[in-house]
Amino acid sequence: MHVPDGFLDAQTSLATGVVAAGAVAVALRGARRELDDRTAPMAGLVAAFVFAAQMLNFPVAVGTSGHLLGGTLAAVLVGPYTAVLCISVVLLVQSLMFADGGVTALGTNVTLMALVGVVVGWLVFRLVQAVLPRTVASVTPAAAIGAFVSVPAAALGFVGLYLVGGTVDLPTGALTVSMLGWHTLIGIGEAVITALTVGAVSAVRPDLVHGARHVLEARELVVRDGIEEQA
Amino acid sequence: MTTRRFFVAFAIAAILLAGVVSYFAAGSPDGLNRVAEDHGLASAEKEHPTDGSPLADYGTKGVDNGALSGAVAGVLGVGIVLVVAGGLAFVVRRRRPSSA
């Protein structure tokens, strides 16, 4: 969903740049609470993993593909504030070094994928988690549903920005329908990749899954000791 | 699994995805590009200012073999993102004097 330069006018790009800068500033403060000596390397690895996974376009129909956005995956593994930073770094590197996603559109892409993608994915994840049993086993399905919703949400975000500052006159209804349609399909892929990744990490090291932290804390401390000693 | 072993496994997974699995990725336009093509927005796309950079479009300048070019670019990208994001996380993190 990398928006190239030229889709949105200069004012809108500037405005999303300000929003993106604000989001990163807030994330830098919030991430301090999420990161310590043990989870800091995890943040680097999650960002690198999202970069790699974003290269893997999967077909969703003839002539159309999608790829992971990764906001929910990162939020569940390293926390929402750190996830905003991780996805922003991925987008920055992609734009400046890989010519993927515009440079004036960087603020737009950070707003859509690092802000909307992470916030919507994380909130839906927490909502589903509150409904499901308080176990580690609930983390993966909750992450999958958050991931699924986050993609059409980011697509709607693009439609909203386009209404404000699109460079070509397009019928709003048709644009909304096609953006939502394709990105609902892509959301299924997002859910599958997120579930596989969060599921794998939860299986071996649930203590390194930010979204499982309060579940583990509610359990006996013996369990955490057990994990440490097994290793 | 020890933390160190887990981190190494996670890094290897990212490298394999970017270096090997990426070769099999679909080449068709993604959702946004498809919508842009269908609605006549694609022509509004401006040339990318870093189109000439050594890793532009996930290829490595100077490496002629298509698969190798993509693999090198992908693995380099994983390394760059790991260093930048990991470095940022290290600067931002809470420091616990008790931990090693």
ipTM (interface predicted TM): 0.95
Q: What is the mean pLDDT of residues A32-53?
A: 97
Tell me the mean pLDDT in the region A56-80.
97
Residue A54 has pLDDT above 70, yes or no: yes
Query: What average pLDDT does range A120-126 have in this prediction?
Result: 98
CA distance B63 to chain A (A): 15
Mean pLDDT score of chain A: 95
Residue A108 clears pLDDT 90, i.e. is over it = yes
- CA A31 to chain CA centroid, Å, is 15
Domain boundaries, chain A: 10-230
Confidence check: pLDDT of A49 > 60: yes
Q: Domain ranges in chain B? A: 3-27+58-92
Mean pLDDT (chain B, rounded): 94
Q: A63–B28: do the CB atoms touch at under 8 Å?
A: yes
Structure tokens at A139: 């983390």
Q: Are the Cβ atoms of A205 and B31 closer than 8 angstroms?
A: no
CA separation for the pair B99, A165 (Å, rounded): 50
pLDDT of residue A222: 55
pLDDT surpasses 70 at B98? no
| Cα distances (angstroms) measured from residue A158 to each of A52, A164, B32 | 24, 10, 9
Give chain B positions within 8 Å (CB) of A93: 77, 80-81, 84
Substitution target in A28, A38, A56, A113 with the highest count of B β-carbons within 10 Å is: A56
Using pLDDT thresholds of 50, 70 and 90, give the confidence band for residue A220. Answer: low
For B50-90, what is the HEC assignment? CCCCCCHHHCCCCCCCHHHHHHHHHHHHHHHHHHHHHHHHH
Task: Check CB contact under 8 Å for B50 and A95.
Answer: yes
d(CA A172, CA A164): 11
- B33-60 pLDDT, tens digit per residue, is 999 999 999 999 999 999 999 999 999 9
Chain A positions in Cβ-Cβ contact with residue B40 (cut-off 8 Å): 168, 170
pLDDT, position B73: 98
Q: Is B29 exposed, middle or buried (0-12, 13-18, 19+ CB in 10 A)?
A: middle
CB B23 within 8 A of CB B71: yes
Among A5, A89, A103, A158, the strongest candidate for a mutation testing the B interface, having the largest count of B CBs within 10 A, is A89
- The domain A10-230 is classified under which CATH number: 3.90.230.10, 3.90.1150.10, 1.10.1760.20, 2.130.10.10? 1.10.1760.20
pLDDT at A217: 82
Cβ distance A212 to A206 under 8 Å?
yes
Residue A229 clears pLDDT 60, i.e. is over it: no
**pLDDT of A224 above 70:** no
- pLDDT, mean of residues A191-217: 96
pLDDT at A231: 42
User: Percent of chain A beyond pLDDT 70?
Assistant: 94
Q: From the CA of A131, how many Å to the nearest CA of chain B?
A: 30
CB contact under 8 A, A231 and B40: no
Residues paired with A66 in a beta bridge: A58
CA closest to A34 among chain B residues: B93
A41-50, A215-224, B2-11: segment of lowest average pLDDT: A215-224
pLDDT of residue A218: 77
Q: For position A91, what pLDDT does the model report?
A: 98
pLDDT at A228: 54
pLDDT band (50, 70, 90) for residue B97: low
For tokens 């479009």, the residue is B57
**Residue indicated by tokens 């096609």:** A178
